[in-house]
Structure 1
Amino acid sequence: MSEEFVLLEPEDQPGDEWEELDVSDTEADRIARRQDREFSEFRERVKDTEQFKLQESVFDDATLAAVYKLVQDGYVDAFGGPVSTGKEASVFEALGGEAGERPEPGSAAAADEHAREVAVKVYRINSSNFRQMRDYLEGDPRFEGIANDKKAVVLAWTRKEFANLKRARKAGVRVPEPIAVQRNVLVMELVGHAEERARRLSEVDVENPETAYEVVREYMRRLYRAGLIHGDLSEYNMIIHDGELVVIDMGQAVTVHHPNAGEFLDRDCENVATFFTRQGIDVDPDDLRAYVTEPEPDPSGEPDRSVDPEPGPANASDRERDT
C-alpha cells in the first residue's frame, strides 16, 4: 500500500528570534506554585513528626500527596497515633470535618473533640499482598480490566473497600461509615477512641453469645441480599463498642457472582460457626449458610430470586452469567 506525504505550506510570516512571547505569570501559574509550595511545607512538617519517623514506610510521597488532598478538602485536620498496624495497612486516628466540611468555630461539633475523630486507613503499595488482592478483585465486575501492576491493584482495593462499606451501610449492616477515599488512603468513622480502642470479638468475653450470633447471622444475610459476601469473616474482623457489634475489614468482600463466592461464603460460615460453638452454642455451618442465602420474601408472595441461593461457579446459571 503506497502512502502520500504532503508538506505543509509555510505561513507568510513564521516569526524570528525577535518575536515577542508572553511569559508573564497567569493565575493558574500562581495557584500551581502556591500548591507546590504548600505541599512541600506539608511534607516537611509531617516528616518531622515522631509518628512519621515510626511509620515512615507508610508515607511515601504519593501517599503524602493523597493525605494532603484530604487535608485540603477538609476531611482531615490533624493526625494522631496509629490505632492498628499491619503488613498491608495501618490505621491512624485523626481529626476531621464531617463529609468534607470543617465544623464552624465555636459550634458544638468543634467543641466536642470526639465528634471530629476519624480513622485514616493507609494501604502500603510496596508491601501489600498483590497476588491475594488480585484473587478477590478478579471476577468482580466492578473492577474488570484492572491493570496488572501492584499500584493499580492497591488503589482499586482501596476504592473497593470504600464501595463495600457504602453498600453494607445501605443494607443495614453496622460497619464503619465511609467518609472519603483518595488513592491508597481511606477515611472512615473511628469506632471507639484511640485511648479506648474498640475490642475485637476474639478479645472479649461474650456475655450473651446467643444474641451476638443472631446479630452476626442477620448481618451476613443482609450483606448477601445486598449482593456481597465478606470473604474473611471471623471473630478477628468484628469489634464490640458501646454494645454494638461492628463488622470491619470490608476490603476483600466480593459480589455474590464472583467465581469464588461460594467458597468464600462457606469459609465465613465455618469461621462463625466455629467461634460461636466455642461460646457454647450449637451452630451448624450448613444451617447458617441456608439462613444467609434464604431468598428474600417478595411482597407479592413469590420468592425473590434476584440473588441466587448458591453463589459461585457451582451454580450453572452463575457460570453462564459470568462467562
Structure 2
Amino acid sequence: MADSNTAAASPAAPHQPPYTYTPNQGYEQTQEVPPEVRMPRGAPHPESDPHDDDDLDDIFDEEDEDELAEDEWSGDAGDLTKSYNRQRQLNASGAAPRSNQQKPKANTFASVDDQVSALSRHAAKIRLDSVKKDDDKDKDKADRATSEQVLDQRTRMILLQMINRGSVSEVHGAISTGKEANVYGAVLHDDKSGDTIQRAIKVYKTAILVFKDRERYITGEHRFKGGFDKGNNRKMVKLWAEKEYRNLRRIYAAGIPCPEPINLKLHVLVMGFLGDRKGWAYPRLRDAAIDGDDVDRQWRNLYIQLLGLMRKMYQVCRLVHADLSEYNILYNKGTLYIIDVSQSVEPDHPRSLEFLRMDIKNVGDFFRRMGVDTLSDRTIFNFITTSAGSVEEPAMSAAVELLYDSRHAAADEDEAAELEVDNEVFRNQYIPQTLEQVYDMEKDAQRLGKGEGGELVYSNLLADQVVAPKRQDGDEEQSTSDSDSDVGAELSGEEASGDESRFEKGTPRGRRFEDKDEKKQHKQAVKEAKREKRKDKMPKHLKKKIVSSTSRRKK
C-alpha cells in the first residue's frame, strides 16, 4: 500500500503543457491531459486505493473525543498559545509556515565581493572617526601647549619651514617680550659670500592675549573691511601680523629707518635686525645713553628729527603710528628707528586724529622730562597734517626751527598757565574728519567767508583755496559803493547794446543740424577706422579654438 502511494504521481507534480500555440490557428492539443490535472481540487487520486481513507476515520471517531483532557482546553489550563507551541516543538518536523512571507530586498545568494562593490560607492558618506584607533590623528590639548607663551607645535613647524626655505639658518633666544609678541634673534648664513646676516623673528602670541583692545585699531579701516573673528584668536592674530607686515613695507619703502620686512607666514614675521654684527640689539630711546658736553642739544635734535619722521609717515606713508612712545623707538648714533607698527592706521580711520594727538602727547611728555623745550600740541598737529611744505630733510628741520621762532613765549606764570590750559583743551577737543561731522556748518562757513578759515581746528583737512583768505584789491574797494547795494540798477544804453550779443542764438546741437559734408567726412573716417581694426582681428575659428582649450568647464 505504501509503495503504491509513493509511486503514484502527486497532483502538484509538474507537467508539460498539453496544448501548443500555432500562429493564426490558436491552441492545438498535442497530448492527452493527465487525469490528475482534470480532477477537481480535493478529489482523491484515481489510482489510489479507496480503503486508504480508513486510516482517517479514527480522527473523526466520536469515541475518541473522550480521550482529550478537558482540563487542557479549559480556561484554567493557561495560555493556549503556549500549549500549541510546546506541541509544535515536539511534533513538528520543520519550521512553521510564516504568514505574510515577503521576498528579501537584498540578494542573499550574492557573493561577498559583490556586496562590497555595491557598498563601495557609499564609502565616502560613512563616518569612521569613532571606529579608527589611530593615535597620530587624534587631537590633544597638549598639541596647543606653548612655551614662552608663543612656541607651540604649529609655530615650531612654521619656523622649520622658514629654515628650509632659506629665510633664516638658525633661531636663537628671545631679544624682547611684549604684550602682543616675542622677538627672537636669528642668523642667516650666506652660502655665496659666506657672510653671517643677523635677522629678527617676531612671533605673535596666540594662547594668552594680554592686548585685547585690537578691535578699535582695525574696525573702520578700509584695508580690513571684513574685520576679524572675535571668537578665534588665531585668525585675529594672523590678521594683526598681516597688518604690521603691510605697514612696515610702506614705511621701509618711504626711506624711514625701520626693520626691513622679509617674510610672513601666519603669525610669524621675519624682519631685518636692528643691531650690531654680534647680535646685540639697539637700545630703546628710553634706555639710550647720550654722552658728551652738549647732551641738551642732542636731545633737542632728536626731538626735531622725530617730528619730521611723524610728518613723513603721515604725508608719504599715509599712516599714523597710534602707539608712538619712547618704548617703540630705537636709538643708535643719533638716528631714531621706528618699530612696532602693527596698530598703525590710515588717516581715513575714524579715530586716526585721536591716535595722532595721543602720539604727540606721549612724545612731548618724554622729551619734556629730558629737559627739551617742546612745542605746543596744536602747533605740532598743524605741522604734521598740513600738506604744504617739504617732507625731506633738512627742509623739515628748518620748518621746525621757524615754528620755534614764530611761537609766542609766555611772559609770566599766568600766560604759561593759559598755554597749558589751551594745550589740554586741544587734546580733548573734537575734530571732525568729514563735513558730515561738522557741528555747526553755517557758523564755520561764515568764518570762512570772513577769511578766518585758518582758525578752524580742522583747517588743514580742507582744501587750500577754501581756507585761504579773500584778497581785495584797491580797485575792488573803490568799485564797492552804494551802487553795490542797488541790486535792481538798470544798465545804460551802451551797456545794454553791448550785452545783446550774448543772447544771440548759436548753432543748434544735434546730428540733423550738422553740415552734410561734415557728416560725410565723419562717416568715411569711421569706416576707415573699422577697416583698419578688422585687419588685426582674430579669425573666429582660432578664437573658438583658444576658448575651448582654455575653458575650465569639464566636458
TM-score (norm: length of structure 1): 0.70
1:64 aligned to which of 151, 156, 172: 156
In the other structure, the counterpart of 2:253 is 170
Q: What's the secondary structure of 1:159's corresponding residue? A: helix
The superposition leaves residues 169-192 of structure 1 with CA deviations (integer Å, 9 ceiling, x where unpaired) of 122211111111110001101101
The amino acid across from 1:199 in the alignment is P
User: Is this contact kept in 2: 1:130–1:153, CA < 8 A?
Assistant: no
Change (3 A) 1:277 1:144: same
Change (3 A) 1:318 1:141: farther
Residues 26-65 of structure 1 aligned to structure 2 (within 5 Å)? 55-65=147-157
The amino acid across from 1:192 in the alignment is G
The amino acid across from 1:89 in the alignment is A
Change (3 A) 1:315 1:88: closer
**Structure 1, 125-134 or 80-89: larger mean CA deviation:** 125-134
Deviation of 1:317 (Å) = 4.3
In the other structure, the counterpart of 2:237 is 154
In the other structure, the counterpart of 2:342 is 251
The amino acid across from 2:254 in the alignment is A
User: Is this contact kept in 2: 1:201–1:240, CA < 8 A?
Assistant: yes
Q: Greater share of helix residues, 1 or 2? A: 2
1:89 aligned to which of 181, 206, 226: 181
- CA distance in 2 between partners of 1:244 and 1:176 (Å): 13
Aligned residues: 251
The superposition leaves residues 99-132 of structure 1 with CA deviations (integer Å, 9 ceiling, x where unpaired) of xxxx234x2xx2x32xx11000000112224631
Pair 1:295 & 2:417 matched: no
Q: What's the secondary structure of 1:197's corresponding residue? A: coil
Deviation of 1:232 (Å) = 0.6
Pair 1:233 & 2:324 matched: yes
- CA distance in 2 between partners of 1:64 and 1:132 (Å): 27
Change (3 A) 1:134 1:164: same
1:140 aligned to which of 203, 206, 221: 221
Residues 203-218 of structure 1 aligned to structure 2 (within 5 Å)? 203-206=287-290, 207=295, 208-218=298-308
- CA distance in 1 between partners of 2:337 and 2:239 (Å): 24
2:309 aligned to which of 213, 219, 229: 219
Q: Unpaired runs of 5+ in structure 2?
A: 1-112, 121-144, 391-429, 439-555
Pair 1:181 & 2:264 matched: yes
The amino acid across from 1:83 in the alignment is I
Deviation of 1:296 (Å) = 4.1
The superposition leaves residues 189-244 of structure 1 with CA deviations (integer Å, 9 ceiling, x where unpaired) of 11014753311111124430121112101110011012100001011110112432
**Structure 1, 133-142 or 155-164: larger mean CA deviation:** 133-142
User: Is this contact kept in 2: 1:228–1:254, CA < 8 A?
Assistant: yes
The answer to which structure, 1 or 2, has the higher relative contact order (CA under 8 A, 6+ apart) is 1
Q: What's the secondary structure of 2:249's corresponding residue? A: helix
Deviation of 1:78 (Å) = 0.6
User: Is this contact kept in 2: 1:137–1:143, CA < 8 A?
Assistant: yes
Pair 1:273 & 2:391 matched: no
User: Is this contact kept in 2: 1:121–1:185, CA < 8 A?
Assistant: yes
- CA distance in 2 between partners of 1:195 and 1:70 (Å): 20
The amino acid across from 1:126 in the alignment is A
Deviation of 1:294 (Å) = 1.4
Q: Greater share of strand residues, 1 or 2? A: 1
In the other structure, the counterpart of 1:196 is 280
User: Is this contact kept in 2: 1:76–1:95, CA < 8 A?
Assistant: yes
Q: Unpaired runs of 5+ in structure 1?
A: 1-14, 22-52, 98-102, 299-311
- CA distance in 1 between partners of 2:437 and 2:222 (Å): 14
Pair 1:127 & 2:171 matched: no
- CA distance in 2 between partners of 1:228 and 1:187 (Å): 22
In the other structure, the counterpart of 1:315 is 433
User: Is this contact kept in 2: 1:158–1:185, CA < 8 A?
Assistant: yes
- CA distance in 2 between partners of 1:318 and 1:276 (Å): 37
Q: What's the secondary structure of 2:337's corresponding residue? A: strand
Q: What's the secondary structure of 1:180's corresponding residue? A: strand
Deviation of 1:261 (Å) = 0.6
Structural RMSD (CA): 2.8
User: Is this contact kept in 1: 2:320–2:347, CA < 8 A?
Assistant: yes
- CA distance in 2 between partners of 1:133 and 1:170 (Å): 26
In the other structure, the counterpart of 2:353 is 262
In the other structure, the counterpart of 1:309 is none
Q: What's the secondary structure of 1:262's corresponding residue? A: helix
